[in-house]
């Protein structure tokens, strides 16, 4: 089973084109105003033009209003949504697209309870908890904590790069990986060589790992 790759925080069309060519399965556009990687609709449209069929374009939101989501969906051909705040399940469902629910892995978090609370989530993204930031911290958490039996796929995020992604996959058994800071020159500007190296590192791990147990569903 091939590990899926999502490269998040894309802000430039040229970065999107390289990410796709390198083998990314999904690109993330951030619509959270406080993020250093936020995009406006003009930037998002330019990125979207570089995304071919069979590659997902994921809109990342943090506690958005319904109007915010609608405004984006009217202009950008997103194929999935990602919610990184404290949105209840009903609000996640209103987007009308498959969605990923992010879980910030603070100590003592009850992932089983959250899985029940978001029955329509297509995947859970496990990210580092930071009191002052919502994603994009570049900090890893204990990857063994991602080895969970959840009813849907697990996406691993937080502090990943080409040098540590193999260890992260060894320890977590995750279905997919999500990278942002680890392939950047600076926030919002991706390093093309780092993106290529990251995708290659995942490909090499897949080849060497062979058949392995996958956490969550593989469909």
Active-site positions read 8, 127
How confident is the model at residue 112, as a pLDDT? 77
Q: Where are the domains of the chain?
A: 4-209
Q: How far apart are CA 113 and CA 116, in angstroms?
A: 5
Q: What is the pLDDT of residues 182-216, one digit of tens each?
A: 999 999 999 999 999 999 999 999 998 865 555 54
Comparing C-alpha atoms, which of 169, 192, 165, 166 is closest to residue 179? 165
| Topology, domain 4-209 | TIM Barrel (3.20.20)
**d(C-alpha 195, C-alpha 23), whole Å:** 9
pLDDT at 113: 79
**In this predicted model, what pLDDT tens digit does every residue of 135-152 receive, in sequence order?**
555 666 667 766 666 778
pLDDT above 60: residue 129: no
What does the mean pLDDT of the chain come to?
Answer: 88
What would the pLDDT profile of 4-45 be if each residue is shown by its tens digit?
A: 999 999 999 999 999 999 999 999 999 999 999 999 999 999
Region 143-165 average pLDDT: 83
Annotate 141-164 with b (16+ C-beta within 10 A) or e (fewer).
bebeebebebebbbbbbbbbbbee
Q: How far apart are CA 83 and CA 192, in angstroms?
A: 27
């Amino acid at each position: 089973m091939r590990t899926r790759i999502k490269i998040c925080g894309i802000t430039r069309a040229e970065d999107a084109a390289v990410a796709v060519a390198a083998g990314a399965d999904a690109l993330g556009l951030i619509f959270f105003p406080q993020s250093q990687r936020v995009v406006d609709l003009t930037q998002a449209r330019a990125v979207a033009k570089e995304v071919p069929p069979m590659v997902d374009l994921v809109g990342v939101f943090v506690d958005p209003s319904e109007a915010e989501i609608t405004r984006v969906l009217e202009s950008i051909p997103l194929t999935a949504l990602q919610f990184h705040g404290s949105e209840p399940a009903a609000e996640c469902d209103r987007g009308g697209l498959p969605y990923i629910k992010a879980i910030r892995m603070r100590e003592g978090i009850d992932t089983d309870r959250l899985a029940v609370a978001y029955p329509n989530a297509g995947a859970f993204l496990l990210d580092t908890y930071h009191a002052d930031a919502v994603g994009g911290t570049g900090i890893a958490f204990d990857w063994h904590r991602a080895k969970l039996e959840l009813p849907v796929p697990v996406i691993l995020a937080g502090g990943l790069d080409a040098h540590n992604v193999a260890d992260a996959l060894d320890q977590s058994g995750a279905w997919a990986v999500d990278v942002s800071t680890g392939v950047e020159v600076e926030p919002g500007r991706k390093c093309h060589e780092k993106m290529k190296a990251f995708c290659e590192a995942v490909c090499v791990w897949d080849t060497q790992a062979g058949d392995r147990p996958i956490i969550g569903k593989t469909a």
